[in-house]
């Protein structure tokens, strides 16, 4: 890995960093910053609103690691202060308030998981309570005076809630200002974020240029990354939707979830979650379009690469071999059975129900006795893994794939 930003020409860095990005605002400014030949301070903020990172979070973390590999400084900001507000971006309701104990617990988990991707020796880890907790009332008023209510209501999430007459608390309006001030506090050259973060990232750029509290700074470049779709292939990955792959999922569960991914979403994952060369990506796209065994092979490659990233090559090889044993002899559901989307019945979502009940009520088996026979004979799989326990409880959530025998395979989707 490069020891400094000067080891790779600025234009080459820009060409590599551009891959996967939705927008760089402004791109020519990033090139000028790279041409300085000194390491940039590249900021990413994460709010510890939950204990686990999923593959959707890793899209921006991987981009941050790419900046590190070019010799730049990663500034990872843990929003222990802003977590008390809750990021309203992309939300149609207020987030619940977290206790200090919940935040501290989540911070510890986030840090542990982030090191699976980032180089801790080249990461400046900061907590925004360091500066936000010290702002005086006068400084907060000055910060709030930089934007109007009309400007804040231009945000899609606020606009949607306002038109629907859903409540918007005053403290939520402070969130983008606080996130923007984080950029001032750490003197960020670049800030990374997803598409739903664009407004907040631009606020940081504006506050650096017109700092109401201290001296002005050169504005950061806004680097926007796309949103990873979930296992349903439709909605963004999220724990609340149950369509996620957690960074710390066990290897077999991670592999099984990725093998349940719809073909149409595979390229999205390969492009955003791997370092596969462009020529290889084109070959994979062609295989996906041919469907059948060729598409299955691409999915096997994807699942193996992701498991290897988070659990090592040995674990990836082991789980792939296990998968091959399960489906040997022509019983490869991914190749011989079309997957049907099946809406989750009203009231089932998020509940854990007996697999016998699920199979019979969804007409996947004619009776509970037949369902039990299928299970005991190894004819039922959940996310690719054989279930042989008649008392198995299935957590009903979108993205779950149930295979029954050699003739039926369904993917549970939101009602």
What is the residue extent of each domain of the chain? 5-227, 229-335, 337-415
Closest CA to 371 of 227, 12, 362, 24: 362
pLDDT at 87: 60
pLDDT at 228: 94
pLDDT at 328: 45
Q: What is the pTM of this model?
A: 0.76
Report the distance separating Cα 251 and Cα 278, nearest Å. 27
Contact criterion met (CB below 8 Å) for 373 and 216: no
Contacts of 293 (CB under 8 A, 6+ apart): 332, 335
Please return the burial class of 165, using the count of CB atoms within 10 Å of its CB with bins 0-12, 13-18 and 19+. exposed
Please return the burial class of 142, using the count of CB atoms within 10 Å of its CB with bins 0-12, 13-18 and 19+. middle
How many other C-beta atoms can be found within 10 angstroms of the C-beta atom of residue 326? 16
Closest CA to 284 of 273, 299, 262: 299
pLDDT at 41: 98
Q: What angle do CA 90, 93, 94 make, to 5 degrees?
A: 100
CATH domain 337-415 topology: 3.10.290
Conformational region of residue 74, where left means phi above 0, alpha means psi within -120 to 50, and beta covers everything else: beta
Residues in the chain: 415
pLDDT at 321: 82
Per-residue pLDDT reduced to its tens digit, 153-190: 888 788 888 888 888 888 888 989 999 999 999 999 99
CATH of region 229-335, choose from 1.10.240.10, 3.40.1350.10, 1.20.910.10, 3.40.50.300 = 1.10.240.10
β-strand pairing of 190-194 with 221-225: parallel
The DSSP output letter for 212 is S
pLDDT at 97: 66
Contact criterion met (CB below 8 Å) for 376 and 388: yes
| DSSP reduced 3-state for 208 | helix
Same fold, 5-227 and 337-415: no
CATH superfamily of 5-227: HUPs (3.40.50.620)
Contact criterion met (CB below 8 Å) for 224 and 169: no
Contacts of 209 (CB under 8 A, 6+ apart): 216, 217, 219
pLDDT at 332: 44
pLDDT at 366: 81
pLDDT at 334: 43
Low-confidence ranges of the chain (pLDDT < 70): 1-6, 86-97, 240, 325-338, 407
Q: How far is CA 362 from CA 38, 309, 321, 336, 342, in A?
A: 61, 36, 31, 21, 8
């Amino acid at each position: 890995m490069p020891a400094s930003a000067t080891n790779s020409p600025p234009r080459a860095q820009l060409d590599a960093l551009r891959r996967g990005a939705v927008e760089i605002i402004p791109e020519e400014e990033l090139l000028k910053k790279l041409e300085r030949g000194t390491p940039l301070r590249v900021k990413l903020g994460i709010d510890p609103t939950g204990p686990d990172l999923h593959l959707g979070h890793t899209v921006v973390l991987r981009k941050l690691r790419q900046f590190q590999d070019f010799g730049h400084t990663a500034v990872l900001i843990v929003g222990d202060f802003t977590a008390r507000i809750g990021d309203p971006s992309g939300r149609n309701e207020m987030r619940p308030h977290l206790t200090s104990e919940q935040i501290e617990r989540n911070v510890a988990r986030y840090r542990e998981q982030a090191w699976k991707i980032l180089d801790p020796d080249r990461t400046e880890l900061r907590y925004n309570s360091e500066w936000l907790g010290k702002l005086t009332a006068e400084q907060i008023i000055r910060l709030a005076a930089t934007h109007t209510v009309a400007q804040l209501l231009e945000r899609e999430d606020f606009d949607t809630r306002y038109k629907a007459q859903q409540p918007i608390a005053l403290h939520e309006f402070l969130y983008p200002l606080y996130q923007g001030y984080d950029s001032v506090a750490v003197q960020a050259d670049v800030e990374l974020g997803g598409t739903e973060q664009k407004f907040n990232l631009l606020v940081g750029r504006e506050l650096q240029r017109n700092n109401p509290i201290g001296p002005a700074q050169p504005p950061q470049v806004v680097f926007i990354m796309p949103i990873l779709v979930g296992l349903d292939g439709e909605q963004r990955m999220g724990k609340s939707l149950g369509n996620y792959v957690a960074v710390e999922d066990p290897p077999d569960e991670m592999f099984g979830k990725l093998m349940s991914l719809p073909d149409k979403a595979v390229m999205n994952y390969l492009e955003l979650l791997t370092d596969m060369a462009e020529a290889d990506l084109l070959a994979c796209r062609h295989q996906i379009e041919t469907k059948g065994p060729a598409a299955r092979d691409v999915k096997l490659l994807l699942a193996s690469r992701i498991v290897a990233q988070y659990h090592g090559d040995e674990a990836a090889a082991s789980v792939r071999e296990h998968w091959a044993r399960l489906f040997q002899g022509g019983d490869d559901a991914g190749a011989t059975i079309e997957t049907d989307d099946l809406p989750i019945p009203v009231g089932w979502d998020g509940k854990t129900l007996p697999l016998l009940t699920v199979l019979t009520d969804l007409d996947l088996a004619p009776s509970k006795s037949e369902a039990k026979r299928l299970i005991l004979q190894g004819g039922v799989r959940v996310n690719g893994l054989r279930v042989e326990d008649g008392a198995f409880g299935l957590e009903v959530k979108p993205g779950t794939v149930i295979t029954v025998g050699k003739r039926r395979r369904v993917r549970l989707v939101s009602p």
